[in-house]
Chain A
């Protein structure tokens, strides 16, 4: 009996480990995007201050500059429901494909997070006491 348990356990583990290939999405640096070809990838970074082009909070299509951790930038275009946390200076992850001729990243999916996640900095002008 225990042999069968071990075998079915091993089968599950095999299924899991092999399934990860082909479903994972690589994160790509802005500078390496032209080499990524037509496949879907992710770019992560900070939304540049002053880099959001849109008419106002009601606009559906937006374009913005994303600065990755090396400091390279890429222009991202997205059309859809804007995540609530999306704004200048926010951390953002865009998933989609890179259009090399136009040098634009077309995002299918956009996630954003407050700059400091849920931790907030102490109110300005106040030094921590004890």
Chain B
């Protein structure tokens, strides 16, 4: 179709615009010439518009089934439901790269708009230069290495169809959220580099940078959880996190960004850790690029990986190296202006706790990165292959996560500079006693899993620290204003959104942690063989098989298992699990049956069947899985409180 050439040429022409804009920006920064900087700003805006055109056109080609574009022919077909014509955009390599570029353009445009009043500030323009530079790299990728607009002549009558694994509602949200989270880290990086370029190293850039980081961090965090949710619903192994290289590569920058969000507070309050913060935001950005590289170049074997593309991989490595060199060079150049104004006075201070939290977070990031890359490094050095599995990750990360959890409670309550004995006793005696008591009660009640008991103890400690903080501050406000409890708490949060939003985020983290501890330590798995009318018990549940039927969907054949579920002898309803066989790709697909309740999930997979109507069923009872998602919701809420404009 003719209109697709518009999108294609927008993508090609944008290379010229981005190059001109970049040259103008560099010249303008060097000569401090406002006219060139304004030229750069307009070029960046135009460039964002062109990227938008290129992306919208490709999506349009999917909706109109224009199979003369190879990418559309490869990832869709005539019978693909309308909704998935949009998600097919990020189903493959070329489209994903264009989508990355699109998200970056959207962020650049948002940056220009949000800070539109700072146009007289040179830092505003320097940041735009860095954004344009990153945009330029991805433009080069889609134009030269991974072109979504390659044509087929003559066009095929029908396309290859979309991978059925990707035909799930979560696929409409999870990849875009991860992309937004990943790409969003480019803005704080650009802010930091802009500050280094212009020498404007006061608090100004940090204030700007912080909000953008919180935004990207939140979206990335929720995106990771949604990915877990997708794996849980779709893959049928009863879990939500498998330490897959691609899961890891999204989690690592999230950890370093968490470290940055904490240590940057020390810089704001106490003028310390300036080099550290510059390095952290640089590392976070590099890790997002590295994560994209790992997924896209096929260098690491994973269920997510795309086919190996050496040219693309090479371009990513060069870009990664240049960014690292660029940032290091700037930090060394501005070394004099980045020295600390003060020293940490005591181990028992918020500064020290935050610093320790940074060490743990970076340790976690290193551990996960090391475990993810070790097989590749090992193969390069020794020539034989090994795999590093969940066993390694669990052994290494569990102790670090436990320490981090305790710090989640300590950090918000301990005083700056130097905590006194009475401050410590006032804030931590009750939570510590509560934690000890709850572990004791659990132990008496038969919970003998040492790691789980420790985990739950830590979580009780965190939650009591936070509740105590909320309660004390609200009580203080009530004494001075005479308001009722909840209005007082609401106003308190409204008055200091950053602080209390942060506390709410911590509550979310603790709730998610509780879900993870309970569901990984106390999962029950059982395999059943049932015939219609027969029933079996799993824990306190009785599952009665109704029938096994064949069915037909528009693009797939199905075998459907129906079960009646009873809790003790109280009926809970019907549970359905399916195996689907998609026509186009002939790939079987498992549809799990999940009955989600507040305290447990009943999770059923149809593993197989035989000619006489016997069904082979895997049943999992997963305690507190909903709390993992619930915690994500609380985290999101806290972040919204933090970011809500004044």
Q: Once the chains are docked, how many angstroms separate the CA of A60 from the CA of B590?
A: 14
CB pair A123–B305 under 8 Å, yes or no, is no
Flag whether A20 is at the interface (Cβ < 8 A). yes
Residues in B whose Cβ lies below 8 Å from that of A80: 607, 618
User: Which of B260-317 touch A at CB < 8 Å?
Assistant: 298, 303-307
Flag whether A35 is at the interface (Cβ < 8 A). no
State whether A84 and B387 are in contact (beta carbons under 8 Å apart), knowing that A55-B611, A126-B152 are contacts in the complex. Answer: no
Residues in B whose Cβ lies below 8 Å from that of A122: 70, 73-74, 152
Minimum CB–CB distance from A91 to chain B (whole Å) comes to: 9
Residues in A whose Cβ lies below 8 Å from that of B156: 123, 125-126
Minimum CB–CB distance from A107 to chain B (whole Å) comes to: 14
State whether A117 and B360 are in contact (beta carbons under 8 Å apart), knowing that A84-B589, A130-B151 are contacts in the complex. Answer: no
> Tally of A-B residue pairs with Cβ under 8 A?
161
Residues in B whose Cβ lies below 8 Å from that of A81: 236-237, 590, 605, 607, 618
Residues in A whose Cβ lies below 8 Å from that of B93: 119
Minimum CB–CB distance from A17 to chain B (whole Å) comes to: 7
Which of B347, B366, B559 is the most central at the interface, judged by chain A CB atoms within 10 Å of its CB? B366
User: Which of B605-638 touch A at CB < 8 Å?
Assistant: 605, 607-611, 616, 618
On chain B, the number of residues with a Cβ less than 8 Å from chain A's Cβ atoms is: 72
Q: Which of B20-28, B217-225, B391-399, B488-496 contacts A (4 or more CB under 8 A)?
A: B391-399
Interface of A is mostly: loop
Flag whether A46 is at the interface (Cβ < 8 A). no
Residues in A whose Cβ lies below 8 Å from that of B154: 126
Residues in B whose Cβ lies below 8 Å from that of A50: none
> Which residue in chain A gives the minimum CB-CB distance to B394?
A23
1/0 contact string of A68-87 vs chain B (CB within 8 Å): 00000000000011101101
Flag whether B370 is at the interface (Cβ < 8 A). yes
Residues in A whose Cβ lies below 8 Å from that of B152: 122-123, 126-129
Q: Once the chains are docked, how many angstroms separate the CA of A26 from the CA of B388?
A: 9
Q: Once the chains are docked, how many angstroms separate the CA of A81 from the CA of B152?
A: 39
> Which residue in chain A gives the minimum CB-CB distance to B68?
A129
CB pair B392–A58 under 8 Å, yes or no, is no
1/0 contact string of B151-181 vs chain A (CB within 8 Å): 1111110111001110000000000000000
Q: Once the chains are docked, how many angstroms separate the CA of A98 from the CA of B283?
A: 43
1/0 contact string of A20-58 vs chain B (CB within 8 Å): 100111110000000000000010100000000001011
Minimum CB–CB distance from B200 to chain A (whole Å) comes to: 27
Residues in B whose Cβ lies below 8 Å from that of A119: 92-93, 306-307
CB pair B384–A26 under 8 Å, yes or no, is yes
CB pair A58–B395 under 8 Å, yes or no, is no
1/0 contact string of B59-100 vs chain A (CB within 8 Å): 000000001001001110000000000000001110000000
CB pair A113–B303 under 8 Å, yes or no, is yes
User: Which of B315-352 touch A at CB < 8 Å?
Assistant: 343-344, 347, 352
Q: Once the chains are docked, how many angstroms separate the CA of A9 from the CA of B371?
A: 17
Q: Once the chains are docked, how many angstroms separate the CA of A128 from the CA of B147?
A: 13
**Which of the residues A1, A17, A20 comes within 8 Å of B355, measured between beta carbons?**
A1
> Which residue in chain B gives the minimum CB-CB distance to A57?
B588
CB pair B370–A117 under 8 Å, yes or no, is no
Residues in B whose Cβ lies below 8 Å from that of A82: 588, 607-608
Interface size on A, as a range, is 35 or more
**Which of the residues A1, A20, A23, A127 comes within 8 Å of B343, measured between beta carbons?**
A1
CB pair B608–A20 under 8 Å, yes or no, is no
Q: Once the chains are docked, how many angstroms separate the CA of A1 from the CA of B270?
A: 16
Q: Once the chains are docked, how many angstroms separate the CA of A113 from the CA of B235?
A: 13
Q: Once the chains are docked, how many angstroms separate the CA of A87 from the CA of B154?
A: 32
Which of B237, B386, B387, B587 is the most central at the interface, judged by chain A CB atoms within 10 Å of its CB? B387
Flag whether B16 is at the interface (Cβ < 8 A). no
Residues in A whose Cβ lies below 8 Å from that of B344: 1
CB pair A117–B305 under 8 Å, yes or no, is yes
CB pair B366–A24 under 8 Å, yes or no, is no
Residues in A whose Cβ lies below 8 Å from that of B367: 12, 15-16
State whether A20 and B363 are in contact (beta carbons under 8 Å apart), knowing that A5-B355, A81-B605, A119-B306 are contacts in the complex. Answer: no
Residues in A whose Cβ lies below 8 Å from that of B363: 8-9, 12-13, 16
User: Which of B123-157 touch A at CB < 8 Å?
Assistant: 150-156
Q: Once the chains are docked, how many angstroms separate the CA of A93 from the CA of B608?
A: 21
Q: Once the chains are docked, how many angstroms separate the CA of A41 from the CA of B417?
A: 53
CB pair A9–B362 under 8 Å, yes or no, is yes
Flag whether B116 is at the interface (Cβ < 8 A). no
State whether A58 and B400 are in contact (beta carbons under 8 Å apart), knowing that A19-B392, A25-B387 are contacts in the complex. Answer: no
State whether A84 and B74 are in contact (beta carbons under 8 Å apart), knowing that A13-B363, A118-B163 are contacts in the complex. Answer: no
**Which of the residues A16, A95, A128 comes within 8 Å of B70, measured between beta carbons?**
A128
> Which residue in chain A gives the minimum CB-CB distance to B371?
A20
CB pair A117–B400 under 8 Å, yes or no, is no
Residues in B whose Cβ lies below 8 Å from that of A26: 384-386
Q: A9-B363, A129-B152, A129-B153 are in contact. List 20 more A-B contacts (CB 8 A).
A: A1-B347, A1-B355, A9-B362, A12-B366, A16-B367, A17-B370, A20-B374, A20-B388, A25-B389, A26-B386, A42-B387, A58-B616, A81-B590, A87-B586, A118-B306, A120-B160, A122-B73, A122-B74, A123-B152, A130-B150
Q: Could you name 19 residue pairs across A and B whose Cβ atoms are closer than 8 Å? A: A1-B343, A1-B355, A23-B391, A57-B579, A57-B588, A58-B609, A58-B610, A60-B616, A81-B236, A81-B618, A82-B588, A82-B607, A84-B590, A87-B588, A118-B306, A123-B67, A126-B73, A127-B153, A130-B153
The chain A residues found within 8 Å of chain B, CB to CB, are: 1, 4-5, 8-9, 12-13, 15-17, 19-20, 23-27, 42, 44, 55, 57-60, 80-82, 84-85, 87, 93, 95, 111, 113-114, 116-120, 122-123, 125-130
